[in-house]
Chain A
Amino acid sequence: MNAKRIDKIATGVLYGVAALVVIILVALLGFILIEGVPKISWHFLTSPALAFEAGGGIGIQLFNSFYLLFLALLISLPISLGAGIYLNEYAPQNTVTGLIRTTIEILSSLPSVVVGLFGYLFFVVQFKLGFSILSGSFALTVFNLPILTRSIEEALANISNDQREAGYALGLSRWETVTKIVVPAALPSIITGVVLSAGRIFGEAAALIYTAGQSAPALDFSDWNPFNISSPLSPLRPAETLAVHIWKINSEGIMPDAKAVSAGSSAVLIIAVLLFNFLARWLGKRLYKHLTAE
């Protein structure tokens, strides 16, 4: 066997491996979409779940998922923006900063079930928040903080120093330069990072099982007073999300059409993740064009 023949064989093998992987990945997506999309209907997306009979929907779970996502982003965005700004603009290059970066990296590599258990101990038990939207969104915040901080820090680091120097030359303080020049310039990549992390939060289940709870009590969608327990906005009600719902009906096995409901819910989850991905790219590009007038 000469080198040329080996080269041909190896190329063939690599084509085969790549094709196999593509087949696996496409089959995966195809399975969910083919099984799930036919189950999606307006009724399925809006009606409440039925525990013991077929024909239930995912309305409350879908609402809970979006509400939790919204609250988690609301809490985690300002914190990670502040932390990202400090790390990139103020922190000196020394051992302490290195240690801080390491801790953030450790936080981002923790298994999400550990984050969920911590949320259970800290928010549910210690602070007596119970299984509630609030505990859930705090747990998701812990889960989201390191990733978002990292992406904001990177976005800020990509802004060239000329912009900062221009700010100082105009007599702006460091903080004013950051808030009025650097952050607006980095906005497209910051928003892309936020939307991508939203996709991750939306499908998270392990961190929520013991924080937001596994039950979805009936909601009264005509009552928007957050202090009433049956109001959709009430932060102290237990809230099962879509991802938790899929896990729960599959491991309990009481619901007669669990398979169909989970197929439909999986498809909704995947479509949502897809949308978040496209939205992130589109928004980033659009904002970049708008800001730079290119």
Chain B
Amino acid sequence: MDKIRESLLKKSIASKIERRGKIISLICLALIVSVVFLIFYFVASRGLATFFKNHINLWQFLSGTQWNPGTMGTNGQPAVGALPMIVGSFLITILSALIATPFAIGTAVFMTEISPRRGAKILRPVTELLVGIPSVVYGFIGLQVVVPFVRNTFGGSGYGILSGTFVLFVMILPTVTSMSADALNAVPRYYREASLALGATRWQTIYKVVLRAAIPGMLTAIVFGMARAFGEALAVQMVIGNATLLPHNLVSPASTLTSILTMGIGNTVMGSLQNNALWSLAMILLLMSLVFNLAIRYIGRKGKLNHER
């Protein structure tokens, strides 16, 4: 009798396996989440040391134009002005997004509205393939093709914001195009039919109906491309010239946050001001990628509201 009672009250093997499986999968998820917090903690602990341990003024760091952390600047403080890099990063991001947007949206409209068959057969596979091309390959092409082209056409050494912009333009073009095409494809078919039934031409339908309905999706695509451009390190580092000066024109050597980081981290001693200042740059990168993320979420939520209305 007791045996039966015991076997009935004891947990079955199946329920033990169930429990174990649930815990294992939860641990996996917890591991990923903790990695994110570790990244933020480690980068912030180094990046904030510049301000708390080395007592650099935050405003001076963001607005200073001299970057040479090992030496003293003209004001007797260590020269840790990050403005040239911040300006460089934002300039190439905005410029490349500005150039890429019309091309990407034009191609996406062509793929979805004008010639869907050719779009699906040729354009879509090619763009999706190009999304996967490694960034060093873009950098190498930039070095071989874009830099000489800029040097011969606009003068200067060829290294600078303009070359960086061109390389990033080609790099984010496939991403923005394929995401915009997804946004256009998501516009319901009856929107187009209703517009055509009212006697609108194809262009009027595209311009007045389809594009407007797809605005949130396309904005997401553009912000996504900008985030990629902002965080790109090696391709930009190879063509921008890496001079920590405020760029006076588009063809003079400049630098970005990522390019100075990749060059500098290996050549500085852990814990020194030179090193901490670089980690502060990394912290700016981290914060900006959060901002892009928030922007994408905000646009997504707004877009949903518009569709429901």
Per-residue CB proximity of A148-187 to B under 8 Å, as 1/0?
A: 0100000000000000000000001111101100000000
The segment out of A39-47, A49-57, A97-105, A232-240 that lies at the interface is A97-105
Residues of A within 8 A of B36 (CB): 103-104, 106-107
Given contacts A17-B106, A113-B285, A175-B18, contact A11 B114 (CB under 8 A): yes
Interface centre among B122, B140, B173 (most CB of A within 10 A): B140
CB pair B17–A175 under 8 Å, yes or no, is yes
Closest beta carbon of chain A to B214's beta carbon, Å: 15
A residues engaging B (CB < 8 A)? 3-4, 6-7, 10-11, 13-15, 17-18, 20-22, 24-26, 28-29, 31-32, 35, 78-83, 85-87, 89-91, 100, 102-107, 109-115, 117-118, 120-122, 125, 142, 145-146, 149, 172-176, 178-179, 196, 199-200, 202-206, 209-210, 243-244, 246-247, 250-251, 259, 262-263, 266, 269-270, 273-274, 276-277
Residues of A within 8 A of B266 (CB): 209-210
Bound-complex Cα distance A199 to B129 (A)? 10
Bound-complex Cα distance A206 to B233 (A)? 7
Bound-complex Cα distance A262 to B15 (A)? 57
CB pair B39–A118 under 8 Å, yes or no, is yes
Main secondary structure of the interface of A (DSSP, over half): helix
CB pair B132–A199 under 8 Å, yes or no, is yes
Per-residue CB proximity of B173-197 to A under 8 Å, as 1/0?
A: 1100100000000000000000000
Closest beta carbon of chain B to A43's beta carbon, Å: 21
Residues of B within 8 A of A22 (CB): 122-123, 126
CB pair B132–A273 under 8 Å, yes or no, is yes
What are 16 A-B pairs with beta-carbon distances under 8 A? Answer: A3-B203, A3-B204, A11-B114, A32-B137, A79-B28, A82-B28, A83-B32, A90-B26, A103-B36, A105-B293, A109-B293, A196-B132, A199-B132, A206-B234, A246-B136, A247-B234
B231 is an interface residue with CB less than 8 A from chain A: yes
Given contacts A28-B130, A203-B133, contact A10 B270 (CB under 8 A): no
Give me 10 other A-B pairs in contact (C-beta within 8 A), A86-B26, A89-B25 excluded: A17-B107, A31-B141, A107-B36, A114-B39, A121-B46, A176-B18, A209-B266, A210-B266, A250-B139, A259-B144
Across the interface, B25 reaches (CB within 8 A) one of A83, A125, A247, namely A83
The segment out of B2-10, B50-58, B73-81, B257-265 that lies at the interface is B257-265
B202 is an interface residue with CB less than 8 A from chain A: yes
Main secondary structure of the interface of B (DSSP, over half): helix
Residues of A within 8 A of B282 (CB): 113-114, 117
Chain B: CB-nearest residue to A115: B39
Across the interface, B174 reaches (CB within 8 A) one of A25, A31, A113, A251, namely A25
B residues engaging A (CB < 8 A)? 14-15, 17-18, 20-22, 24-29, 31-33, 35-39, 42-43, 46, 102-104, 106-107, 109-111, 114-115, 122-123, 126-130, 132-137, 139-141, 143-145, 170, 173-174, 177, 200-204, 206-207, 227, 230-234, 237-238, 258, 261-262, 265-266, 270, 279, 282, 285-286, 289-290, 292-293, 297
Closest beta carbon of chain B to A78's beta carbon, Å: 7
Closest beta carbon of chain A to B286's beta carbon, Å: 6
Given contacts A17-B102, A173-B14, A203-B137, contact A11 B202 (CB under 8 A): yes
Bound-complex Cα distance A14 to B116 (A)? 13
Interface centre among B29, B38, B126 (most CB of A within 10 A): B29
Residues of B within 8 A of A210 (CB): 265-266
Residues of A within 8 A of B38 (CB): 118, 122
Interface centre among A100, A113, A269 (most CB of B within 10 A): A113
Residues of A within 8 A of B22 (CB): 86, 90, 174-175
Given contacts A24-B173, A262-B140, contact A14 B18 (CB under 8 A): no
Residues of A within 8 A of B297 (CB): 102
Across the interface, A21 reaches (CB within 8 A) one of B103, B133, B289, namely B103
Chain A: CB-nearest residue to B103: A21
Residues of A within 8 A of B128 (CB): 277
Interface centre among B26, B37, B137, B238 (most CB of A within 10 A): B137
